[in-house]
Chain A
Amino acid sequence: MSILASIDLQTLGDALGQGAIYALMAVGIGLVFGVLRLVNFAYGQLIMAGAYTLAYTSGWPVAASIVSCFAVVVALSLAMDRLVFRPLRSSSPAVMLVTTFAVSFLLQAVALIVDLRDGTLGQIATSVAPLNQAVTVAGVDVRKVTFVAVAVTLGTLAVLALVLTRTTIGLHTRAAASDFRTARLLGVRANRVIAFAVVVSGLLAAAVAVLLTVQNPFVQPDFALEDTIIVLVGVVVGGIDRLWTATLGGFAIGFVSVIVNAALPTDKTVFLPSVVYALVIVVLLLRPAGLFAWGRRAAMERV
């Protein structure tokens, strides 16, 4: 088993950290999909906006910098809902998705203009960099951010689980996610539920912005774009119809990418995307409704 032999604790730690961050992103995408049936391709640009905020507030105290990052991202998330998602609520999925492409390009273009004011492309976010230092645990170098990422993800998921199951707004959100029209007939207020989902997904994007900026302090307009695409794939592979399967899908694709990367021979790692996406195709063919979607739902979607 030469493949397994090459996977050591080091890789496992990295894989957990990557999976944790992707899981957070998956929750943010899955929540909005649940209530709006909209795949938000522009989610990565929320994260990008947060990262730029961190970069431009690098001189501030860390706490102030992080708070402003959260404020900017949540405000942008709400604005996106009000200006783009709300007018599109009755449109077809293809139109909604393509509109979020346009929003994504728009935000990247705006970021490019803002970024280029100082004549160079890219800004450095230094305030949160200390988290990137490594600590040695049991002979393995683990970056502090890995612990933070795993802890933040577990904590967030726990809080979110409590909110979704124990509070009225959480109950309403779950009702809206399973059948929006019936939920409205029963008195669930659409705009409140959607606003809740949008704010929470914004908070998650801000948290991801902090975590990703620690790993890669060099912020550019396409920051988090690639990650978002991978997470979107993971979310669908896991099963986008339910929040938990979507989250697991996000975690799985982050985790598996790192493991496959370590398992491939060094001269073959350039073919990592091919291997991962071939796995994606196989999983989708075998379980079109989602890898983790068991039961009746799994049988759907077949032609």
Chain B
Amino acid sequence: MRRPLGALAELLAPSALVVVVGLLSTTASASNEVYFLNALVSVAIVVAIYVFVGISGVLSFGQISFVAVGAFAAGVMTVPVESKKGVLTSIFPLLRDHSVGNVPSLLLAAALGGVFAFIVGLPLMRLSGLAAGIATFAVLEITHNILREWTKIGPGATTLALVPETTGALQATLGALVAIVVAFVYQRSRRGRLLRASREDPAAARGVGVNIHLERLLAFTLSGALAGFAGGLYVHLLGSITTEQVYLELTFLTLAMLVVGGLTSLWGAVIGALAVSGLDSFLGQAESGVHVLFTFTLPQGTRLVFLSAIMALVLILRPSGLTGGRELRLRWPGRRRRPAEAPS
């Protein structure tokens, strides 16, 4: 039976949450605003990862490669032409002599992320389990290595600076919303359901004719495009970026966000991203002794201790994540609850 209201909640709840965070960011002081915007960009990245990892059930450590490609593509292409000659000395002339605006750079980032993911996914999507995890991790290492060392396509190991900081409250909120809507539409679509079926039972899914390789490849490509787009948002938020910022730490942090929220639902991805980045900002604030609710100061370096300890605790006490890996559903009072169901 179709339950349009339930489906609507699945989309509206995460969207509303993102809008609230976006609105809050406009009321925050200038120094605090960046925490909210960071959380929103994290939502975009984690939702991108969710589209592949959450729906297919295949672990990937490689999605941050697409964030990196998107971030550097959008960054390099928006540095003003007159500054480029000074900063990016050894870059290809074609890249040096052209720049694009904010929105085209985000579209470019999404396109590059998608194309890169498609090319990588073509062979790799045959793998599953740990082999898939390690192979995608190898992609991350190679991407990082090339971005860092090949100075013809970017700044190499130096910082890419002078990127226009266009990701304000509006762009961060809209960006996160775009990611959520795309993920929602995909997971409700026929293709998304086929992929989800393959996650729950690969043998049965194959038995009814699901081409698992193809479905995974589609999700991987879509996830890559969203990740590239999120990378574009990220670079426009930071204004300057190095390859180290889109590498191991971001990979682990965003995966942890997804798992803490609940690996198998869009709601979980959004909750996890907001909860972990919220906690991170709060602890960061407390560490520098700023007034948060009440004034107290944590010793330097304790932020990471608390953050990782809380993450470990959540996973030990609630292995299926804060949301239990379920979408938020509206239930009419008095109506019988459906019997316990598999994560839908």
Contact = CB atoms under 8 A, between A and B. Distances in A.
B202 interface: yes
A284 B131 contact: yes
Interface stretch (A52-60, A91-99, A133-141): A91-99
A294 interface: no
Interface stretch (B23-31, B92-100, B133-141): B133-141
A274 interface: yes
Interface string A216-242: 000000000000010011001100100
B274 to A, nearest CB: 18
B312 interface: yes
A109 B304 contact: yes
B130 A39 contact: yes
B142 A278 contact: yes
A112 B299 CA distance: 12
Nearest to B260: A98
A116 interface: yes
Contacts of A97: 59, 133
A39 B312 CA distance: 15
A3 interface: no
B304 A233 contact: no
Interface in B242-270: 248, 252, 255-256, 259, 263
Interface residues of B, number: 49
A250 to B, nearest CB: 13
A302 B134 contact: no
Nearest to A85: B316
A98 B255 contact: yes
A102 B315 contact: yes
Given A102-B311, A106-B308, A109-B304, A277 B138 contact: yes
Interface string A102-129: 1111101110110010000000000000
B124 A303 contact: no
A101 to B, nearest CB: 5
Given A236-B131, A277-B138, A288-B131, A103 B312 contact: yes
B308 A103 contact: yes
| Range class of the A interface residue count | 35 or more
Nearest to A269: B149
Contact of B138 (A101, A108, A278): A278
Interface string A78-101: 000000100110111111011101
Given A113-B301, A280-B135, A88 B315 contact: yes
A281 B138 contact: yes
A105 B308 contact: yes
Interface in B284-338: 299-305, 307-309, 311-312, 315-317, 319-320
A285 interface: yes
Contact of B137 (A91, A106, A233): A233
A101 B128 contact: no
A22 to B, nearest CB: 15
B222 interface: no
A155 interface: no
A110 B213 CA distance: 43
A236 B128 contact: no
Contacts of A103: 308, 312
Nearest to B120: A281
Give the residue among B124, B129, B248 with the most A Cβ atoms within 10 A.
Answer: B129
Contact of A240 (B130, B135, B299, B300): B130
A280 B255 CA distance: 22
A303 B202 contact: yes
Given A95-B259, A109-B308, A285-B123, A303 B128 contact: yes
A160 interface: no
B212 interface: yes
A109 B303 CA distance: 8
Contacts of A112: 301, 304
A277 B142 contact: yes
A270 interface: yes
Given A88-B315, A280-B134, A303-B202, A94 B126 contact: no
A240 B134 CA distance: 12
Contacts of A273: 141-142, 144-145
Given A95-B315, A271-B145, A273-B142, A101 B256 contact: yes
Contacts of B123: 281, 285
The 6 closest A-B pairs by CB, nearest first: A109-B304, A277-B138, A106-B308, A105-B308, A102-B312, A91-B319
Interface of B: 59, 123-131, 133-135, 137-139, 141-142, 144-146, 149, 202, 212-213, 216, 248, 252, 255-256, 259, 263, 299-305, 307-309, 311-312, 315-317, 319-320
Interface of A: 39, 84, 87-88, 90-95, 97-99, 101-106, 108-110, 112-113, 116, 229, 232-233, 236-237, 240, 270-271, 273-274, 277-278, 280-281, 284-285, 288-289, 301-303
18 contacts: A84-B316, A97-B59, A101-B256, A109-B303, A109-B305, A112-B304, A116-B301, A229-B248, A236-B133, A237-B134, A271-B145, A277-B138, A278-B142, A280-B135, A281-B123, A284-B131, A284-B138, A301-B129
